[in-house]
Amino acid sequence: MFLPVATFQQLNEEQLAQGLSPFANPRNAAAGTLRQRIDRREDELRLAEQSQTPGGRGALKITRLRSELELSISRLNGLGLTVHGIGQVDGFSITRQSQGYDFLAALGLPVSKLARVENSLSAVRSFIKYFGEHRHDVEHEIDGVVIKVDDLALQAKLGETARAPRWAIAYKYPPEVVSTRLIDIQVNVGRTGRVTPFAIMEPVKVSGSSVAMATLHNAFEVERKGVLIGDMVYLRKAGDVIPEILGPVVEARTGSERPFVMPTLCPACGSTLGPAKEGDKDYRCPNARGCPAQLRERLSHVASRGALDIEGLGEKAAYALLDCALLSDEGDLFLITQADLLKCEFFRREPAKGEDGPQLTENAKSMWAQVQLAKSRPLWRVLVALSIRHVGPTAAQSLARVFGHLDSISSASISELAEVDGVGETIAVAVHEWFSEPWHQQVVSKWRAGGVQFADEGGESTSDEFAGLVVVITGSLAGYTRDSAAAAVTSRGGKVSGSVSSKTSVLVAGESAGSKFDKAVALGVPVIGAAGFEVMLTDGLEAALTTITQ
């Protein structure tokens, strides 16, 4: 699946026209389009139509829902598809992959019009060179060329490893590098107080999309890169995705450039900035509870998909909750009533005919309902939502599985926390320190009063068959997202780690597996592919290891 560049530009124009943020690149836009949950929009429209009353305001809601559904379907129709493989052939025979493409095309399926069969290495090199020079002439973004052996018999003879077929290889083009003017360097305050410098540049097109900002990580990184405000700078997209400043165009300097000076005061609350501990490169705002920038980021984090997944509580809604003083901190989120929301202009509308007084907008009603649903999320999601430093989904799931209740985690000692597989001393200290802070305990008390569940009924793990297993997942697995593949392991009592080590039980390597595969081989860690992963889920690790192809 892909989003044509022209469609991507049109989509961003629609986003801006609706007052929404544009997508960063076509890949993000395509993923967002696929995640629209059209089924949910259809259900919402169906319910609205069924409950409509004559002369009521429901007609306006139905019109809006239909418009949103039509827009979602239109965006989905804007996606393109290229098929490039055949799982099984039955009833006829082909001897070359190119014949398979011809057959698929004859069926009316979309195949690449750019694929060619070449008979020499020099022709292959010319093909690679041509598209390196014309990569932006293709209707969608590309980052390289895949070269395959056409003869299927030879493909079978060459075979596959757990990582990739031996009969295909990808040639990746170096990231496109452009130059633009660095207008300013400002700083952003994150949810944990980390202050991150970011570059503001004259917009420039790189790798298919316009870029005007890029992170600079910290003051040491700014100094290391040697960039000055006012410089012409070299810019690329790391991995063709993330904007990255490489360095200055020194010969273009005029003498008017000036160095960046890291602010000493928080731009959001005025607190004195500094490293959290000696040797820390990151500057942080110490006003964790009162800094409005940190609170906004924490509130957005609570609602994020990786935490409590509160649909409708986006950036604008979070700003409105704070601007209208409906929250003093994230603890108040689950104490808010519909009457409270009516006090804020952002969440209310004028009454329609027959209605008495201001009414909540449909979006406000939906958001409030989602907040109520979030109260029953699993314990590990509650832990992630608390913004405890270093605690992500993996550590949170391990803690939830072992302790079972937030109060047990809160009262545990550092050593008890550190003994949990996948936690360790650094995370244990962070958890212990977080619960030792009085205002954090107040947040927990407010969530308790608001009805948030602090224990899982029966626990999330459906079995302990993977207990003691440390699994690393890399590359893409057909039928799974990274999160769903990890959940399949953790729900069976296993641990999913982000890095390969001598403690790793198995590496699951999907397509485009990277350096983790090489490290696993070097350490002698077993490696299984997508098929082996399915066997592992149904029959266990020992059975999966029999699927390994050397």
**Is residue 180 domain-shared with residue 282, that is, in the same domain?**
yes
**Is residue 367 domain-shared with residue 301, that is, in the same domain?**
yes
**Is residue 394 domain-shared with residue 495, that is, in the same domain?**
no
Rounded Cα–Cα distance for residues 236 and 205 (Å): 10
DSSP 8-class letter at 36: S
Q: Contact, 348 vs 364, CB < 8 A?
A: yes
> Sheet holding 506-509: strands in order across?
495-497, 470-474, 506-509, 527-528
Inside any domain, residue 82: no
> What percent of the chain lies above the pLDDT cut of 70?
95
Host domain of residue 211: 174-287
Q: What is the DSSP string of 234-283?
A: EEEEETTTEEEEEEE-GGG--S--B-----SB-TTT-PBPEESSTT--SE
- Burial of 384-411, coded b for 16+ CB within 10 Å and e otherwise, reads bbbbbbebebbbbbbbbbbbbebeebbe
**Is residue 166 domain-shared with residue 183, that is, in the same domain?**
no
End-to-end CA distance of the chain: 31
pLDDT tens digits along 206-222: 876 789 999 999 999 99
SS3 165: strand
pLDDT tens digits along 515-526: 788 888 888 899
pLDDT tens digits along 77-87: 889 999 987 87
**Is residue 184 domain-shared with residue 278, that is, in the same domain?**
yes
**Is residue 298 domain-shared with residue 195, that is, in the same domain?**
no
Looking at residue 461, what is its pLDDT? 44
Q: What is the mean pLDDT of residues 3-25?
A: 76
Inside any domain, residue 51: yes
**Is residue 47 domain-shared with residue 117, that is, in the same domain?**
no
What is the pTM (predicted TM-score) of this model? 0.63
**Is residue 167 domain-shared with residue 181, that is, in the same domain?**
no
For residue 459, pLDDT beyond 60: no
pLDDT tens digits along 90-120: 888 889 999 999 999 999 999 999 999 999 9
CA distances for 304 relative to 199, 297, 308, 462, angstroms: 25, 10, 6, 25
Confidence grade of residue 295 (pLDDT, cut at 50, 70, 90): very high
Mark residue 321 as left, alpha or beta (left: phi above 0; alpha: psi -120 to 50; beta: remaining).
Answer: alpha
For residue 54, pLDDT beyond 80: no
Inside any domain, residue 92: no
**Is residue 181 domain-shared with residue 245, that is, in the same domain?**
yes
CA distances for 530 relative to 434, 473, 477, 491, 521, angstroms: 39, 10, 6, 18, 17
Last residue of a domain, one of 116, 151, 172: 172
Last residue of a domain, one of 322, 348, 374: 374
Inside any domain, residue 461: no
Inside any domain, residue 88: no
Inside any domain, residue 465: no
Domain tally, the chain: 6
The two structure tokens encoding residue 65 = 């829902």
pLDDT tens digits along 343-363: 999 999 999 888 889 999 999
Inside any domain, residue 396: yes
**Is residue 363 domain-shared with residue 396, that is, in the same domain?**
no
Looking at residue 331, what is its pLDDT? 95
**Is residue 443 domain-shared with residue 513, that is, in the same domain?**
no
With CA atoms as reference, report the closest residue to 510 among 487, 534, 539: 534
**Is residue 112 domain-shared with residue 67, that is, in the same domain?**
no
Q: Which residue has the tokens 């979070």?
A: 318
Inside any domain, residue 85: no
